[in-house]
Amino acid sequence: MTATVPPADRPSGVGRAAPPRPTARAWARENLFNNRHNSALTVLLGAGLAMLAAYGARFLFVTGQWAPVRTNLTLLMMGTFPRAEQWRVVVQVYLLCAAAGLVWGGLTASSRDRAADADVPFSRARLRDGVRRWWPLFVLLAVLLGMTRTWLPLAFVASALAGGVVARRAMEALPEAGRRAGWFGAGVCALAGWQVVSGTGGIAWWWGSALVAAALVRITGNVRSEARWQPAARLALIAGAVAVVWAVYGRLDFGGVGWDDWSGFQLNLVAAAASIVLAFPVGLAAAIGRRSQLPAVRWLSVGYIELIRGVPLITLLFMGDLFLGFFLPTEDPLSKVTRAIAVMTLFTGAYLAEIVRGGLQAVPRGQVEAAWAVGLSAPRVLGLIVLPQALRAVIPALVGQFINLFKDSTLLSIIALTEILRIRESIHGQREFLVTGIAETLVFVAFAFWALAFTMSRESQRLERRLGVGER
């Protein structure tokens, strides 16, 4: 006699066949032609979209004059970056691809280990999934390669991507102890990729010290409790390591290309990325400070937020360009790019503070009180209970602000920085392109920004689905 499980007691999805997917014809009949009004609207909109697609294809492949873009592609991407120093950018791309491959491989290996611990099947991401996920960037890359005149850029891109894949495979094959070193290697590759262009002078030693200090904190923190290092000993070890890094950087004499020589789309990317990375902790600190019980901290946070939010970004850029140097006690004036990044960081940080504050207010007060009741300290309550829920709730607004910041990087031309739009204007100052390809260069610039902004938006939606934003 065989026992059967009642349908109500069966786990969800067990013993049930997946519903058949409707054919394209059945889907169209149900959603587009289900009544007279929808049928007429579908025909009209379909005809309009077909006409727009025909005109767009004709512009892109027949009548479009893309010679200004094709001839000045390097100028659009890198601007006035010294041509003799372009090898630095090549090395930077290789190092960043290696760092990205190590990070990707580490995340994949961690997911595989968690799946094995939970005794659930692990499915590796397929190439088709990656293309579906990153297709706007692949299209942009294909457009850039299609406009080159030699095979060298294609070989460079292919070898850089292959290096990233090799780094990913190597990271996945390492044991858990080896992956810890791999994470440090990813940080070293990223740092070297940055400093191979910017050089090792100035405050470059600070970034190396931060990387070494983070690695030492991780290593000493993994020591078991019965042999855990005392905090004073850990601080002494980190201080000694920082001193060694500072001494090593002091002996290095690897010059770089100054900020003032960075321009084109490269400047837009660097300024936006640096401002995003720096603005997030600034906004987070300001949001927490605005809710602080200490009057001085609260007033400073409120003053910063309201003052910055009440002034246009263009005005702040002018003020930073003209007045910021007067308030800093240094003999070496800050470069225009540094001042612009500082202004964009402060501007975006103020808006992020209000976004994060909205997320903080959405966390139920009862959860905070329950955490206090079980003995958690205030920093642990904030880091383990409040911030994860607050940031999860405001992911769409955060990413939207990051996208706005990326697009606002085009305002740098107002303070005489040669970002991509200013480079585009200079192209049409050339004799052969005075009245040629004006619309085409605008379309190219718009497409470059759209590809990156749309990818950021899609990744935000993917993260929202994984975290269940709006569902629970």
Residue 455 has pLDDT above 90, yes or no: yes
Q: Name the β-bridge partners of 419.
A: 264
What rounded mean pLDDT belongs to the chain? Answer: 85
- Enter the tokens of residue 467: 């975290």
pLDDT in the model for residue 221: 62
Residue 274 has pLDDT above 70, yes or no: yes
Share of the chain above pLDDT 70, in %: 91
Q: How confident is the model at residue 227 (pLDDT cuts 50, 70, 90)?
A: very low
Q: How confident is the model at residue 251 (pLDDT cuts 50, 70, 90)?
A: confident
CA torsion 234-236-241-243 (nearest 10°) is 160
Residue 8 has pLDDT above 50, yes or no: no
pLDDT in the model for residue 329: 62
pLDDT in tens, 362-403: 888 888 889 888 888 888 888 888 999 999 989 999 999 999
- Least confident piece of the model among 102-106, 130-134, 236-240, 325-329: 325-329
pLDDT in the model for residue 376: 86
Residue 223 has pLDDT above 60, yes or no: no
Superfamily name and number for 259-472: MetI-like (1.10.3720.10)
Task: Tell me the mean pLDDT in the region 300-314.
Answer: 93
pLDDT in the model for residue 16: 52
Q: How confident is the model at residue 471 (pLDDT cuts 50, 70, 90)?
A: low
pLDDT in tens, 79-121: 888 888 989 999 999 999 999 999 999 888 888 888 888 888 8
Task: Tell me the mean pLDDT in the region 56-66.
Answer: 92
For the ranges 204-208, 283-287, 432-436, the maximum mean pLDDT occurs at 283-287
Q: How confident is the model at residue 174 (pLDDT cuts 50, 70, 90)?
A: confident
pLDDT in the model for residue 121: 82
pLDDT in the model for residue 330: 62
Handedness of CA 245, 249, 250, 251 (dihedral sign): positive
Residue 7 has pLDDT above 70, yes or no: no
pLDDT in the model for residue 131: 82
pLDDT in the model for residue 220: 65
Ramachandran area for residue 10 (φ above 0: left; ψ -120 to 50: alpha; else beta): beta
Task: Tell me the mean pLDDT in the region 61-86.
Answer: 91
| Domain extent listing, the chain | 259-472
Q: How confident is the model at residue 15 (pLDDT cuts 50, 70, 90)?
A: very low
Residue 420 has pLDDT above 50, yes or no: yes
pLDDT in the model for residue 151: 87
pLDDT in the model for residue 225: 44
Task: Tell me the mean pLDDT in the region 56-74.
Answer: 92
pLDDT in the model for residue 83: 87
